[in-house]
A = this chain, B = another copy of it.
């Protein structure tokens, strides 16, 4: 057996040895049953440490090329060492055994249902906009005009960072929120979700600590799992992320990123004050941690005064702002954006280029025109009115129908209300019970890293009519009461104040 070792190949010696032996098995110069030298002899021949040869033999045994017997040495296994060939017939590839570590960490759960539920359900479970309100007609007209005028160019490859006119439009619109951004500080992505994926690609190494609110947006958790981040949940209070806990976590865990949703937080609906935002930014500055600010429902305020995003106070380029058209307009466009420091935007552009080149130009152009002509703002006004009525009715109905001991948030906008159940009532069980009555809710466990049952749930008012709200809340109230131990229902109906 001739083995030539290449000292400068960068490949460990034991792998080189194992590789050569595998090759000889496959070439047929080593045949089933052939003896191979003892590790002592081969080590002496090659002038390497015996341990190295043992490592090579271990690898060969593990992958089924050789077998060893005490006192008889090692020999080549039958059938060319090809365990995956069963009786000459190739068996199916076992894909589950080939998955990457990241993929194994990604909770592989795709919801069975996509899009809206049939109208017969009372669906309080999902944060999807109400498609019966979609301004389809004006979008149809604009799409037609855009493709007629610039069709060929818009169906060609395009810039990774996005259509220049949409980047410029978004930079201008960010000024409404006090964010001063140039066009070069904007990248267009396939919805906020891809924004997160690109940001994590750019910043997260396996083992990095990432702070999230607890509870938080459920679909960020599997993605952080994929990147093998150590997710550190910081509790939400009625005022937002608990800042004392955050400070302590920032000091002890040196997080790589803080993910926060200051407006109409998912799932609690809580909106933080300007003071809270300033303190959060100041803690992030003190510990030199970037902030990923998710402004997914920035446009959905229904009462009270606008609070400026954290990004508006950011002078150091520390805040990465995520925006989307999926909650206030059409999720199906798959268009969102990131505003961040120009250096980071360029890096994200390179990540986007190698990930999927760019977002559809045709849809970007149509959206630009749609917004420029004022259709988006008109739609928002209408949506905010409908949403305000639904939120108020939901809160009134809960007061009327929910048993004592239940508490909830009072959101000033957005789609989510967070309900804390009376002691002893399980969110998971309630979701099951309610489902039997045709009412869908999102149990609290979806929004915690632990996925443990919690005495809470999220109510989304995004797709329910006013009749459905009254009906659904009444049914939920009964289901809660049925589950609650009698003593837990004492005490007044408590409402968590909103900011």
The distance in angstroms between the C-alpha atoms of A142 and B128, with both chains bound, is 27
Look across to chain B and name the residue whose beta carbon is closest to the beta carbon of A102.
Answer: B201
Q: Does A8 count as interface, using CB distance less than 8 angstroms?
A: no
Which secondary structure dominates chain A's binding surface? helix
Q: Does A160 count as interface, using CB distance less than 8 angstroms?
A: yes
Contact flag A347-B103 (CB < 8 Å), given A203-B98, A356-B334: yes
Q: Inside 8 A of A129's CB, which chain B residues have their CB? A: 156
Q: Does A318 count as interface, using CB distance less than 8 angstroms?
A: yes
Contact flag A354-B193 (CB < 8 Å), given A90-B316, A108-B347, A156-B332: yes
The distance in angstroms between the C-alpha atoms of A23 and B80, with both chains bound, is 60
- Chain A 161-179 residues near chain B, CB threshold 8 A: 161
Contact flag A251-B357 (CB < 8 Å), given A95-B344, A362-B363: no
Look across to chain B and name the residue whose beta carbon is closest to the beta carbon of A348.
Answer: B103
The distance in angstroms between the C-alpha atoms of A290 and B165, with both chains bound, is 43
Shortest C-beta distance, A1 to chain B (Å), equals: 14
Q: Inside 8 A of A223's CB, which chain B residues have their CB? A: 354-355
Q: Does A288 count as interface, using CB distance less than 8 angstroms?
A: yes
**Are B359 and A334 in contact (CB-based, < 8 A)?**
yes
Look across to chain B and name the residue whose beta carbon is closest to the beta carbon of A136.
Answer: B151
**Are A219 and B140 in contact (CB-based, < 8 A)?**
no
Q: Inside 8 A of A85's CB, which chain B residues have their CB? A: 285
The distance in angstroms between the C-alpha atoms of A347 and B353, with both chains bound, is 23
The distance in angstroms between the C-alpha atoms of A363 and B114, with both chains bound, is 17
Contact flag A347-B140 (CB < 8 Å), given A152-B132, A194-B355, A363-B363: no
Q: Does A301 count as interface, using CB distance less than 8 angstroms?
A: no
Q: Inside 8 A of A160's CB, which chain B residues have their CB? A: 110, 114
Q: Does A144 count as interface, using CB distance less than 8 angstroms?
A: yes
Shortest C-beta distance, A396 to chain B (Å), equals: 29
**Are A354 and B92 in contact (CB-based, < 8 A)?**
no
Shortest C-beta distance, A134 to chain B (Å), equals: 5
The distance in angstroms between the C-alpha atoms of A116 and B205, with both chains bound, is 37
Q: Inside 8 A of A20's CB, which chain B residues have their CB? A: 252
**Are A202 and B100 in contact (CB-based, < 8 A)?**
yes
**Are A136 and B155 in contact (CB-based, < 8 A)?**
yes
**Are B288 and A84 in contact (CB-based, < 8 A)?**
yes
Write the A310-349 contact mask toward B (1 if CB under 8 angstroms, else 0).
Answer: 0000011110000000100011111000000101101101
Listed A/B pairs (19) with beta-carbon separation below 8 Å:
A19-B252, A19-B254, A23-B251, A90-B285, A93-B318, A95-B343, A98-B290, A106-B354, A108-B346, A115-B153, A131-B155, A140-B147, A156-B330, A156-B331, A157-B332, A193-B354, A226-B351, A333-B360, A334-B356
- Kindly list 12 other residue pairs between chains A and B, CB separation below 8 angstroms, not including A19-B252, A155-B330: A91-B316, A100-B204, A101-B205, A103-B203, A103-B347, A116-B156, A134-B151, A134-B152, A219-B354, A332-B361, A333-B362, A360-B363
